[in-house]
Structure 1
Amino acid sequence: FMALAAAVIVGVALAVLFTQSKWLEMSLLPYAVVLQVTPIVAIAPLIIIWAGDINLSLLICAWIVAFFPILSNTILGLNSADHNLVNLFQMYGASRWQTLRHLKLPAALPYFLAGLKISGGLALIGAVVAEFVAGTGGSASGLAYRILEAGYQLKIPRVFAALLMISLTGVAIFLVTSWISWLLLRRWHESALKREN
């Protein structure tokens, strides 16, 4: 949960900064893309060594995987505000802050929530992968380590039990993010309105 919360805070903050400054976006977005396309399995051992603390390294790995969908979707949403409305705001003398607050952020909300749904599952995957890597180093912590341990001992029912727990956690994350999305969009966005057909 902490990795997802950190991904939301950093992703939304950077998305707002990037849409306010194209120079900043062109300077820093390539680094975010590199983080996204580098397999977490490849960098998890380095993060575990550098962080020194297993829990911190799990948090960092989960954050890396969850961060990019929120960033990219929020940037897309902020840039997708109706240009006619942006021109109208400018015509009435609205400041950049007023345009951002009253037009661009509401326009970006559905995109952000779609990114949140994706990032919720990815954060879980990042944590599990990091736990697998940490588990091979002898640190017994979570369900991923239990899968490794049971697999080595050929205790297949335990492997399936741990897999089921991880899957149920992923489903719970998806249901919670879907509920949040429905709650925030139900009154005004086309995707959440009930149709009478």
Structure 2
Amino acid sequence: MRKLLRTVVPPLLFLAMFLLSWDLLVRLGGIGPYLLPSPAAVAKVFVTRSADLFAAAQITLFSAVVGFLASLIVGLITAVFFAEFRWLRISCYPYAIFLHTVPIVAISPLIITWFGYGATSVIVITFIISLFPIITSATNGFLEAPEELRELFDLYDASRLQRLLKLRFPSAIPQIVSGAQTASGMAIVGAIVGEFFAGHEAGRYGLGYYMFTAQGQFRIDILIAAILISTLQGIGLFAAVTLFAKTALRRWMTS
């Protein structure tokens, strides 16, 4: 119990001090709500517009999860080919870096032209943003299998598939999980950015669209509420990946 209190109480105290300082800054500084609303104003948004925000959060989370899972599958398959075929890694890895460095803002119009406005374009943008950490981490993990185990597999003349399933993949699990954790946070960012540019589908508005419209209307209280929800979603997705790694993949993570 004492350990739990030591863990929980300091963050709660810091949060209380932060909210108090925020409220005093708005009240004593005479800052208008169009620049910085009070904590009470933001809390009021959660109460009065909870249904709209919850519906928007579901749409954003769906796009983020689908884009993340797609990037995880494609990234792992790509990493397998990069690890197995050196010529392919040398030839194509620079293009993976190129895809990562291209500003998503620059290619968003192209994605919208191909896929139109709505969830599909948002998922594609999320997929692109989340893909590179998976490819990088998984490829490095596959290539960094212990030398003594590789020699053992050589000694027993193991097939390529046996090496992949029984040596490279188990050895790469920590790296893959690390890449997935990074990509999970970036997936929420990708979904929000995608909704800024492509999330204008009639009747389906995600948090990114709410942020976009709230900024144009100077409704900073709605903007902050949407930011807080998206932050919690990022934390939740990261925690889900971490929990999966500590349960289903425990034996490889601890070895």
TM-score by shorter chain over 0.5: yes
The C-alpha deviation readout for 1:131-178, integer Å capped at 9, x for no partner, is 112368999621111112112222221111111111111111111111
1:22 aligns with 2:22: no
Q: State the 4+ residue runs in structure 1 displaced beyond 4 angstroms.
A: 135-140
Matches within 5 A, 1:1-197: 1-134=65-198, 141-190=205-254
Q: Which amino acid aligns with 2:99?
A: L
Measure, in 2, the Cα distance between the counterparts of 1:119 and 1:8.
Answer: 8
**Could you tell me which residue of structure 1 aligns to residue 35 of structure 2?**
none
Structure 2 stretches lacking a partner, 5+ long: 1-64
Displacement of 1:179 in angstroms is 0.6
Q: What is the one-letter code of the residue matched to 2:238?
A: F
1:95-135 per-residue CA deviation (whole Å, 9 max, x = no partner) reads 11111111110000110000000001111111111111236
Question: Matched residues in 1 for 2:157 and 2:216: separation?
Answer: 67
Q: Could you say if the C-alpha distance between residues 35 and 58 of structure 1 is closer, same or farther in structure 2, counting changes exceeding 3 Å?
A: same
Summarize the Cα distance change of 1:146–1:53 in structure 2 as closer, same or farther, 3 Å threshold.
closer
By relative contact order (CA 8 Å, sep 6+), the higher-ranking structure is 2
Which consecutive residues of structure 1, in runs of 5 or more, have no partner in the other structure?
192-197
Partner Cα separation in structure 1 for residue 129 and residue 174 of structure 2: 21
Give the aligned residue type for 2:215: G
Using the alignment, how far apart are the partners of 1:138 and 1:41 within structure 2?
A: 22
RMSD of aligned residue pairs (Cα, Å): 2.0
Q: How far apart, CA to CA, are the structure 1 residues paired with 2:247 and 2:217?
A: 45
Number of equivalences:
191
Q: TM-score, structure 2 length as denominator?
A: 0.70
What letter corresponds to residue 124 of structure 1 in structure 2?
A: I
Which one has a bigger Cα radius of gyration?
2
Q: What are the superposed Cα offsets for residues 55-99 of structure 1, whole Å, 9 maximum, x if unpaired? A: 111111100010110011000000010111101111012111111
Shift of 1:42: 1.8
Distance 2:211 2:155 in 1: 60
1:195 counterpart residue number? none
Moved more, 107-116 or 48-57: 48-57
Identity %: 38
AA of the residue aligned to 1:41: V
Distance 2:199 2:119 in 1: 12
